[in-house]
Amino acid sequence: MSRSVQSPRVINIEDLRRAAKRRLPRVVFDYIDGGAEGELTLRANCRAFEAVTFRPRCAVATPACDLRTTVLGIPLSMPLILAPVGSSRLMYPRGEEAAARAAGAAGIAYALSTLSGCRLEDVAAASKGVVWYQLYLVGGRDCALSAIERARAAGFSALVVTIDTPVAGLRERDMRNGVKELLSRKLVGMLPFVNQLLTKPRWLMSFLVDGGLMKFPNVAIPGQGPMLYADVTTALEQSMVSWDDLGWIREAWSGPIVIKGVHTGDDACRAVDAGADALVVSNHGGRQLDGVAPTLRMLPEVLASVGDRIEVLLDGGIRRGSDIVKALCFGARAVLAGRAYAYGQPPHPDTQSGGNDKCHHAHPHAYAMRPDHHLGMIYQSQNVPERKKCENYTRDA
Ligand code: GLV
Q: Is 284 a catalytic residue?
A: yes
The long-range contacts involving 238-244, CB below 8 angstroms and separated by at least 24 positions, are 238/138, 239/136, 239/137, 239/138, 239/139, 239/140, 240/137, 240/165, 240/166, 240/167, 241/136, 241/137, 241/161, 241/162, 241/163, 241/165, 243/270, 243/274
| Contact yes or no for 285/45 (Cβ under 8 A) | yes
Distance 234 CA to ligand 1 centre (A): 13
Q: Are 348 and 92 in contact (CB under 8 A)?
A: no
Ligand 1: centre distance to CA 276 (Å): 22
* pLDDT for 381: 34
Question: The domain at 3-384 falls in which architecture?
Answer: Alpha-Beta Barrel (3.20)
Residues 6+ positions from 307 with CB-CB distance below 8 Å: 331
pLDDT confidence of residue 369: 62
**3-state secondary structure at position 81:** strand
Q: What is the pLDDT of residue 27?
A: 97
Q: Give the residues surrounding ligand 1 with Cβ less than 6 Å away.
A: 86, 115, 284, 287
Distance 283 CA to ligand 1 centre (A): 11
Q: pTM to 2 decimals? A: 0.89
Output the residue whose Cα is nearest ligand 1's atom 5: 86
DSSP one-letter code for 292? P
Closest protein CA for atom 4 of ligand 1: 287
What pLDDT, on a 0 to 100 scale, did the predictor assign at position 292?
98
Q: How many CB atoms lie within 10 A of CB 114?
A: 26
φ/ψ of 40, rounded to 5, equals -65, -45
Which protein residue's CA is at the shortest distance from atom 3 of ligand 1? 86
Catalytic-labelled residue, pool 284, 363, 365, 374:
284
Low-confidence ranges of the chain (pLDDT < 50): 1-6, 350-365, 367, 379-397
State in Å: Cα 32 to ligand 1 middle.
9
Angle at 172 between CA 167 and CA 176, to 5 degrees: 130
